[in-house]
Chain A
Amino acid sequence: MNPASQIIPLFVSIALAGAFLTSILGKRFKRLPDMIGTVTTFLLLWLSLKAVATVARQGTMIYSVGAWKPPIGIAMVMDSLTSFMLVTVNLVAFTIALFSIDYMKRFTSKWKFYTLFLLMLGGMNGVIVTGDIFNMFVFLEIAFVASCALVAFGTEKQELEAAFKYAIMGTVGSLFILLGIVFLYSFTSTLNMADMANILAGKGTPNIVLMVSVLFIMGFGLKAALVPFHAWLPDAHPSAPAPISAMLSGVLIKSLGVYALVRIFYNVLGMTPFILDVLLVLGALSMVVGVFLAIGQWDLKRLLAYHSISQIGYVVLGIGLGTPLGILGGLFHLFNHSVFKSLLFLNSGSVEYATGTRDLQKMGGLAQKMPVTGTTNLVASMSIAGIPPFNGFWSKFIIIIAAVEAGRFWYAFWAVLASLLTLASFMKVMKYAFLGSLKEKWNKVKEVPIFMQTSTIILALICVMGGLLLWPGVREIFLMPATDAVYNGLGYSASVLQNIF
Chain B
Amino acid sequence: MSKEHEKGMSVIVKTITRLTVGLILLYGIYILTHGHVSPGGGFAGGVIIALSFVHLMLAYGKEVALEKLPKGVTSFFESLGALLFLGIALLGFTGGYFFLNFISKGQPFHLFSAGIIPLCNIAISLKVGAGLFAIFVALVLLKFDSEGKE
Q: Which residues of the partner chain A approach B83 to less than 8 Å between Cβ atoms?
A: 17, 20-21, 24
Asked whether, in the complex, the Cβ of B90 is within 8 Å of the Cβ of A13, the reply is yes
Asked whether, in the complex, the Cβ of B80 is within 8 Å of the Cβ of A66, the reply is no
**What distance in Å separates the Cβ of A333 from its nearest Cβ neighbour in chain B?**
34
Q: Given the interface contacts A20-B79, A23-B79, A24-B76, does A67 sit within 8 Å of B96 by beta carbon?
A: yes
The answer, yes or no, to whether B40 is at the interface (CB within 8 Å) is no
Q: Given the interface contacts A24-B76, A24-B79, does A66 sit within 8 Å of B100 by beta carbon?
A: yes
Considering the chains assembled together, what is the distance between the CA atoms of A111 and B5 in angstroms?
40
The answer, yes or no, to whether A1 is at the interface (CB within 8 Å) is yes
* Nearest chain A residue, comparing its CB with the CB of B95: A67
* Nearest chain B residue, comparing its CB with the CB of A115: B79
The answer, yes or no, to whether B93 is at the interface (CB within 8 Å) is yes
Q: Given the interface contacts A13-B89, A17-B86, does A64 sit within 8 Å of B79 by beta carbon?
A: no
Q: Hey, what's the 0/1 contact readout for B56-100 against A, CB within 8 Å counting as 1?
A: 000000000000000000011011101100100110110111111
Q: Which residues of the partner chain A approach B95 to less than 8 Å between Cβ atoms?
A: 67
* Nearest chain A residue, comparing its CB with the CB of B97: A67
Q: Which residues of the partner chain B approach A211 to less than 8 Å between Cβ atoms?
A: none
Q: Which residues of the partner chain B approach A66 to less than 8 Å between Cβ atoms?
A: 92, 97-101
Considering the chains assembled together, what is the distance between the CA atoms of A17 and B79 in angstroms?
10
Q: Hey, what's the 0/1 contact readout for A35-70 against B, CB within 8 Å counting as 1?
A: 000000000000000000000000000011111000
Asked whether, in the complex, the Cβ of A16 is within 8 Å of the Cβ of B79, the reply is no
Q: Which residues of the partner chain A approach B92 to less than 8 Å between Cβ atoms?
A: 66
- What is the interface of chain B mostly: helix, strand, loop, or mixed? helix
Offer 17 A-B interface pairs, CB within 8 angstroms, sorted by A: A1-B96, A6-B98, A9-B99, A13-B90, A17-B86, A20-B79, A21-B79, A21-B83, A23-B75, A24-B76, A64-B97, A65-B98, A66-B92, A66-B97, A67-B95, A67-B96, A67-B97
Considering the chains assembled together, what is the distance between the CA atoms of A23 and B79 in angstroms?
7
* Nearest chain A residue, comparing its CB with the CB of B75: A23
> Which chain A residues in 7-31 approach chain B with CB under 8 Å?
9, 13, 16-17, 20-21, 23-24
The residue from A16, A24, A65 contacting B97, defined by CB atoms under 8 A apart? A65
The residue among B78, B80, B83, B96 with the most chain A CB atoms within 10 A of its own CB is B83
* Nearest chain A residue, comparing its CB with the CB of B72: A27
Considering the chains assembled together, what is the distance between the CA atoms of A67 and B93 in angstroms?
11
Asked whether, in the complex, the Cβ of B98 is within 8 Å of the Cβ of A16, the reply is no
The residue among A9, A63, A64 with the most chain B CB atoms within 10 A of its own CB is A9
Q: Which residues of the partner chain A approach B78 to less than 8 Å between Cβ atoms?
A: 23
Q: Given the interface contacts A13-B89, A66-B92, does A20 sit within 8 Å of B100 by beta carbon?
A: no
**What distance in Å separates the Cβ of B114 from its nearest Cβ neighbour in chain A?**
13
Asked whether, in the complex, the Cβ of A24 is within 8 Å of the Cβ of B80, the reply is yes
> Which chain A residues in 67-86 approach chain B with CB under 8 Å?
67
Q: Hey, what's the 0/1 contact readout for A85-126 against B, CB within 8 Å counting as 1?
A: 000000000000000000000000000000000000000000
Asked whether, in the complex, the Cβ of B98 is within 8 Å of the Cβ of A20, the reply is no
Q: Which residues of the partner chain B approach A63 to less than 8 Å between Cβ atoms?
A: 98
The residue among B75, B93, B97 with the most chain A CB atoms within 10 A of its own CB is B97
Q: Which residues of the partner chain B approach A6 to less than 8 Å between Cβ atoms?
A: 93, 98
Considering the chains assembled together, what is the distance between the CA atoms of A13 and B98 in angstroms?
10
Known: A65-B98, A66-B99. 6 other contacts (CB 8 A): A1-B97, A20-B86, A24-B83, A66-B97, A66-B101, A67-B95
* Nearest chain B residue, comparing its CB with the CB of A74: B99
Considering the chains assembled together, what is the distance between the CA atoms of A23 and B72 in angstroms?
11
Asked whether, in the complex, the Cβ of B99 is within 8 Å of the Cβ of A65, the reply is yes
Q: Which residues of the partner chain B approach A21 to less than 8 Å between Cβ atoms?
A: 79, 83
Q: Given the interface contacts A24-B79, A24-B83, does A67 sit within 8 Å of B100 by beta carbon?
A: yes
Q: Which residues of the partner chain B approach A24 to less than 8 Å between Cβ atoms?
A: 76, 79-80, 83
Asked whether, in the complex, the Cβ of B98 is within 8 Å of the Cβ of A9, the reply is yes
Asked whether, in the complex, the Cβ of B86 is within 8 Å of the Cβ of A13, the reply is yes
> Which chain A residues in 339-362 approach chain B with CB under 8 Å?
none
Q: Which residues of the partner chain A approach B89 to less than 8 Å between Cβ atoms?
A: 13
Q: Which residues of the partner chain A approach B79 to less than 8 Å between Cβ atoms?
A: 20-21, 23-24
**What distance in Å separates the Cβ of A251 from its nearest Cβ neighbour in chain B?**
23
Report the 3 A-B pairs with minimum CB-CB distance, sorted nearest first: A9-B98, A66-B99, A23-B79
Q: Which residues of the partner chain B approach A67 to less than 8 Å between Cβ atoms?
A: 95-97, 100
Considering the chains assembled together, what is the distance between the CA atoms of A13 and B86 in angstroms?
7
Considering the chains assembled together, what is the distance between the CA atoms of A65 and B101 in angstroms?
10
**What distance in Å separates the Cβ of B106 from its nearest Cβ neighbour in chain A?**
18
Q: Given the interface contacts A6-B93, A24-B79, A24-B80, does A16 sit within 8 Å of B86 by beta carbon?
A: yes
Q: Which residues of the partner chain B approach A1 to less than 8 Å between Cβ atoms?
A: 96-97
* Nearest chain B residue, comparing its CB with the CB of A66: B99
Considering the chains assembled together, what is the distance between the CA atoms of A23 and B78 in angstroms?
9
Q: Hey, what's the 0/1 contact readout for B105-148 against A, CB within 8 Å counting as 1?
A: 00000000000000000000000000000000000000000000
Q: Which residues of the partner chain B approach A64 to less than 8 Å between Cβ atoms?
A: 97
* Nearest chain B residue, comparing its CB with the CB of A10: B98
Considering the chains assembled together, what is the distance between the CA atoms of A16 and B99 in angstroms?
15
Q: Which residues of the partner chain B approach A20 to less than 8 Å between Cβ atoms?
A: 79, 82-83, 86
Considering the chains assembled together, what is the distance between the CA atoms of A65 and B90 in angstroms?
11
**What distance in Å separates the Cβ of B83 from its nearest Cβ neighbour in chain A?**
5
Q: Which residues of the partner chain A approach B80 to less than 8 Å between Cβ atoms?
A: 24
Considering the chains assembled together, what is the distance between the CA atoms of A13 and B85 in angstroms?
11
Q: Which residues of the partner chain B approach A65 to less than 8 Å between Cβ atoms?
A: 97-99
Q: Which residues of the partner chain B approach A13 to less than 8 Å between Cβ atoms?
A: 86, 89-90, 98
* Nearest chain B residue, comparing its CB with the CB of A22: B79
Q: Which residues of the partner chain B approach A9 to less than 8 Å between Cβ atoms?
A: 98-99
